[in-house]
Structure 1
Amino acid sequence: MPEPLTEASVAELMPELRAVMREAASIARPYFRQGQQTTARVWSKAGGSPVTEADVAVDTFLKIRLSEIVPRAAWLSEETADDPARLGRDLVWIVDPIDGTRAFLSGHPDWSIAVALLAKGEPVIGFVHAPALGVAYEAIRGQGAFRDGERIAVDPRDALRTSRITGPKPMLDRLTRGAGPDSDFVRIDRIPSLALRLVRVAEGSVDVGMISSDARDWDLAAADLVLREAGGAVCSLTGEAAVYNRADPVHGELVALPRALRDPVIAAWQA
């Protein structure tokens, strides 16, 4: 029987995983042109979502390399056909080779590469790299969250009134109405990559990130761990934590926030 992952064994994986993430970024970066259309070939998936040859190249590279590093881990990725065998596995890689593909193909820098390793359904390693911005976030469960090697934490505020909020306009409008006439929110332009939306809450540059229904595990799992380790949470708008590696990896409406703002946000949403 394979040995379970321990804190020590997870830590031992990190140098090689960092190298893999850097190489994945180097594969994607040449296709990206700031402020211009990508040089990559683009086509539409079933349902109309765009995919580029960069998505596929990064996905193929990560599947090979991550499967070499943890051979017994199953696989769930946006760009790979789902294998239901993952549901019976303790370890699962959750991968989005390019989160924010529309941003990537249009020249907007807010796209990322997101990789999480789940153990018994909970993220234990999370990486979110933003190659166009030159920043990298990572977390190991129980060991804190980091941006480019520096520890990060959510903003310590516990009052919702002047929070910096971002996300889909209908959700922001509802939150604003529920917060009442004394609210003085700062609205931040919507962040195309969901993973980056979450890690910006983790680093304290955003306080509340709203997430519309239909996000997938690969959009969330890696950044969720970074946010948890920074003192925040991803939860439904009734307060339940996000659950990963279900048969259908699709989520309803969610919010990313510091734990201290959880109750005020839910109260405003339900008002």
Structure 2
Amino acid sequence: MLDSDLSLLIEAARAAGEIGRKHFTSGHRVWEKDDGQGPVTEADLEVDAMLRERLTSARPGYGWMSEESEDDPERLGRARVFVVDPIDGTRAFTEGSKTWAHSLAVVECGRPVAAVVYLPMLGKLYSAEDGKGARFNDHPIAASPRQAFDGADILAAHPTFNARHWKGGAPTVKRHFRSSLAYRLSLVGEGRFDGMLTLRDSWEWDIAAGALIAAESGARVSDRHGAQIRFNTVERCAQGIVCATPGVHGEILARLAH
């Protein structure tokens, strides 16, 4: 057995990357989900099956939550739970963009305690452990020092900055976009962007790993109302996510029209 949950997640993420890379370069079948949740590919399903077998075999006492697995309420009674998105950014994957990621976290009593976000086509691996900081390709990372929201570099979808969401109109920021929420959170942790946000309800598997990476880098993470996000919930969903440097985070919450 591997010594730590983080070591286990890193090795599993790299194995997932081999599967994802194979399908990305050689072609893959794509379906639209019945519930309107977007596309799923055979790569998503193969990665999901591999991760579930590998991770739960190594930690049989842990629960399991994944975008591509049927939910098992038994996870609610487990102290530790794997929260996994086999491929975060599936639409980017199907369109040929390399910015998709494998997002893997261990959640303990509602909080992420180990996390990996891996982008195999870009050779980027972000990781974090509770109380031990965050790393990018095994080098320590820290969030941006920026304190002012106006003029900040923010990762968000275009509708997020519709004036109706903001007191006094939309803020003046430099907006950027990446398909994967896990990658957006990790980029804030790396200090390449000052913040990211989505006002839409967010699935836990999209944000659990990235939330720990960003928080361990010194960024602040909350839902769109400023509340701490709990994981391994019945709903498996958070009320949006706001992640930014401390000063920028406070300004975002103050200016949002809740």
Distance apart, 1:236 and its partner CA: 2.2
How far apart in 2 are the matches of 1:73 and 1:259? 33
Distance 2:169 2:12 in 1: 47
Q: How many pairs were matched up?
A: 257
The correspondence of residues 238-249 of structure 1 with structure 2, limited to 5 A, is 238-249=225-236
SS of aligned partner of 2:187: helix
Structure 2 counterparts to residues 95-110 of structure 1, below 5 A: 95-110=84-99
Structure 2 match to 1:92 = 81
Q: Distance in 2 between matches of 1:211 and 1:24?
A: 27
Q: TM-score, normalised by structure 2?
A: 0.92
Q: Does 1:69 align with 2:58?
A: yes
In structure 2, stretches of 5+ residues that fail to align are none
CA distance in 2, matches of 1:52, 1:108: 15
Q: Which residue of 1 aligns with 2:198?
A: 211
Aligned-pair CA distance for 1:132: 1.4
TM-score by length of 1: 0.88
Aligned partners of 2:17 and 2:118 also within 8 Å: yes
1:42 aligns to 2:27 (yes or no) = no
Aligned-pair CA distance for 1:43: 1.2
Q: 1:179 to 1:136 in 2, by over 3 A?
A: farther
Taking the aligned partners of 2:94 and 2:126, their CA distance within structure 1 comes to 22
The structure 2 residue matched to 1:24, chosen from 9, 16, 31, is: 16
Matches of 1:249 and 1:219 in 2, distance apart? 10
How far apart in 2 are the matches of 1:184 and 1:43? 38
Residue 266 and residue 212 in structure 1: after superposition, are their counterparts in 2 closer, same or farther (change >3 A)? closer
Q: Deviations over 1:223-248 (max 9, x none)?
A: 10001100113212321121111111
Inter-CA distance 155–52: structure 2 relative to 1 (3 Å threshold): same
SS at structure 1 position matched to 2:103:
strand
Corresponding residue number in structure 1 for 2:46:
57
In the alignment, structure 1 segments of 5+ residues that lack a partner are 1-8
- For residue 11 of structure 1, report the CA deviation from its aligned partner: 5.9
SS at match of 2:238: coil
The residue identity in structure 1 corresponding to 2:6 is M
The letter for the 2-side match of 1:232 is: A
